[in-house]
């Protein structure tokens, strides 16, 4: 059994908080998924199983040739992760801030706000802060906005401008303080 302090320290260093916004199956609607994952060499699969158990039997372990990952995406499991991290203290202020933003997204999802245009846009804005350096699998706020509620510059140009000057985009895309 892993101690809570060890688990908190290990997951703070090795865990990854993310929010995925993607097309939902066959529909044209956007889907939001809060994701917590931990990646290790494939020889350490047993450790991921112990971590899953330590967090309340959450997630699923996926193995590849050289690595294994514990992915936690089911809302009830993600809520257990939020509870776990909320009860501890982060050593890293940047990871604490990342968790705080991620937890706000999870809260909005739990309340069903992601099903409204305003809620989806709020999650997209928070996600911009969460994944600031990760551009490979990211829909920016403006890209999500185009699908949920296109702004006037988009309607005129038919594409997302380099730097949108509409009020919402200015406030969200280029602001650093999203509450």
- pLDDT at 178 (0 to 100): 38
- E strands within the chain? 15-23, 30-41, 60-63, 67-72
- pLDDT at 86 (0 to 100): 92
- pLDDT at 132 (0 to 100): 55
Both tokens of 36, joined, read 């917590």
> Quick one: what percent of the chain has pLDDT higher than 90?
47
Give the tens place of pLDDT for each residue, 85-108. Answer: 998 788 888 899 999 999 999 999
Give the tens place of pLDDT for each residue, 64-73. Answer: 989 999 999 9
Both tokens of 23, joined, read 């097309």
Nearest to 59 by CA among 39, 29, 86, 88: 39
**What does the angle CA 160 – CA 27 – CA 61 come to, to the nearest 5 degrees?**
95
Give the tens place of pLDDT for each residue, 128-154. Answer: 777 654 554 566 666 776 677 666 655
């Amino acid at each position: 059994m892993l101690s809570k302090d060890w688990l908190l320290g290990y997951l703070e260093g090795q865990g990854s908080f993310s929010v995925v916004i993607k097309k939902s199956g066959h529909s044209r609607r956007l889907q939001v998924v809060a994701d917590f994952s931990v990646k290790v060499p494939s020889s350490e699969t047993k450790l991921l199983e112990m971590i899953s158990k330590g967090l309340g039997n959450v997630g699923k372990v996926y193995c590849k040739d050289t690595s294994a990952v514990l992915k936690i995406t089911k809302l009830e499991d993600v809520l257990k992760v939020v509870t776990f991290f909320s009860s501890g203290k982060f050593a890293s202020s940047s990871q604490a801030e990342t968790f705080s933003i991620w937890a706000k997204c999870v809260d909005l999802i739990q309340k069903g706000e992601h099903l409204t245009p305003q809620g989806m846009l709020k999650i997209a804005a928070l996600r911009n802060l969460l994944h600031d350096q990760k551009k490979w699998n990211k829909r920016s706020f403006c890209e999500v906005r185009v699908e949920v509620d296109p702004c006037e510059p988009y309607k005129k140009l038919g594409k997302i401008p380099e730097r949108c000057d509409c009020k919402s985009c200015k406030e969200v895309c280029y602001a650093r303080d999203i509450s």
